[in-house]
Amino acid sequence: MVLLFAVLAGCSKDNPEEVFFSEGGQAEAEISKAEAAKEILPEKKLEESEEELFYGYQSLNTEEQQVYRQLIQGMESFQEEIRLSPVTEEQLSAIANLVMIDHPEYFWTDGAFEYWKEEYPDGSVKGMRVSPNYLVNRQEAEEIGRQIEAQAEAWIGEIPADTDTYGKIKAVYELLIRNVEYEETSPDNQNIRSVFLGKSTVCMGYAKATQYLLNKMGIFCTLVTGEITEGTSSRHAWNLVKIGENYYYVDTTWGNPRYDAQTATEIDVYYSYLCCTEEFLGRTHRANDDIPLPVCDDDRYNYYKNAGCWYETYDPEQIRQVLTQDVNAGRQKTELYFARQEDYDRAVQDLVNGSLVKEAMQNTSVLQPGQGISWNIYSGGQDRLLVLVWRP
């Protein structure tokens, strides 16, 4: 987020309240302070159910929360200048950043602000004025918002109402991966317009759309920003979700096999980054410190464990039987997830470079004499996942 500082002490953008004090100015300043203390600035009232979804808001103290409410009141009204209670520059920067973290629906601003401090002669801050950078006007935003809402409701409508929380998170993860392409040059890719209207985006768009859809269903989901530590460091965005009393990470971008141009598209969805732990995600992701993050160490919703594709150890004979059974059952793919790196490496050696797959095919019962089957094997990710796609 960019916060543009334009500090003009004692005045707003066009200096409407510039005051020249005489020698008695200090007394006048004290009177002005008393009057300012009585002034009530407009702020948005938040329902308890809303506060529970606004993770950034929850991390602020009472004074900062008031400024947060004043800021979103003005932003949602498309005010050119928003008056705020006095806070420090550091506080204002943090509050503005948290507003953008909490509100994926604010597609009509890029989060950049200019601000002006109003000071008394003694140097104390009387108040602040903030000028957000709006990408479209209010009328345009309302029309675009209706279009976004229509697409969001259509996707949510595909999810059965009685689906549990995990099931809804999984459904949103799949819907976005299957319907939205990863495209670095997509327009508006830092906000949800790119997802719901353009159907192509980057990590920020995926993360904000995930948050937007889950929040609409009353599910806690917040935006997490940071960097990828694997290879060349790069900025990235993902999500934090909550199921029951436990927190989990979701990276919809990395769940999309097509986000990497070198990855073939035969695989529909990678589930390694759905409701994962901090130990797992921390191998490749590092979060910024703009919001405090809870412990994420519960793995009960690990997709591959629950699907029976998780292997604590590598047993070649067991894997050979699994491959044979999957081909006999007519499955289109076989997924093998290994708990330890050394077991994964051995499996890659035997399946990719060795003859284990050919040996398994010799025991199939569905192939007639002279009939063959081909396969592609996908490996090499940080998630210790092997996927075999079968081609009868």
The DSSP secondary-structure symbol of 259 reads G
pLDDT value of residue 228? 95
Q: What mean pLDDT is reported for the chain? A: 88
**3-class SS of residue 376:** strand
330: left (phi over 0), alpha (psi -120 to 50) or beta: left
User: Rg of the chain's alpha carbons, rounded to an integer?
Assistant: 27
- Run of H or E residues at 320: helix 316-328
Please check the confidence at residue 263 and state whether its pLDDT lies above 90. no
Residue 151 backbone phi and psi in degrees, to 5: -70, -40
Instruction: Give the amino acid at 44.
Output: K
pLDDT value of residue 217? 98
Please check the confidence at residue 314 and state whether its pLDDT lies above 70. yes
Rounded mean pLDDT of 140-155? 98
Please check the confidence at residue 233 and state whether its pLDDT lies above 90. no
Please check the confidence at residue 382 and state whether its pLDDT lies above 70. yes
Please check the confidence at residue 14 and state whether its pLDDT lies above 50. no
Question: Facing residues of 200 across strands?
Answer: 181
pLDDT value of residue 27? 40
Each residue's pLDDT tens digit, 171-197: 999 999 999 999 999 999 999 999 999
pLDDT band at 365, cuts 50/70/90? Answer: confident
What Cα–Cα distance (Å) separates residue 225 from each residue in 35, 73, 79, 281, 283? Answer: 41, 25, 28, 13, 16
Nearest to 357 by CA among 387, 313, 312: 387
Question: Of 32 and 283, which is predicted with more confidence?
Answer: 283
pLDDT value of residue 9? 28
Rounded mean pLDDT of 210-229? 98
Please check the confidence at residue 32 and state whether its pLDDT lies above 80. no
Question: Of 119 and 347, which is predicted with more confidence?
Answer: 347
Please check the confidence at residue 265 and state whether its pLDDT lies above 90. no
pLDDT band at 10, cuts 50/70/90? Answer: very low
What Cα–Cα distance (Å) separates residue 77 from each residue in 71, 259, 340? Answer: 10, 36, 53
**Residue 139 CB burial class (10 angstroms; 0-12, 13-18, ≥19):** exposed
Rounded mean pLDDT of 15-35? 39
Point out the least confidently predicted range of 116-120, 207-211, 313-317: 116-120
Nearest to 71 by CA among 141, 145, 143, 3: 3
What b/e readout covers 2-23, taking b as 16+ CB neighbours within 10 angstroms? ebeeeebebbbeeeeeeeeeee
Please check the confidence at residue 45 and state whether its pLDDT lies above 80. yes
pLDDT band at 63, cuts 50/70/90? Answer: very high
pLDDT value of residue 266? 75
Residue 90 and residue 383: Cα distance in Å, rounded? 38
Rounded mean pLDDT of 154-165? 98
The answer to whether the pTM exceeds 0.85 is yes
The DSSP secondary-structure symbol of 329 reads T
pLDDT value of residue 43? 96
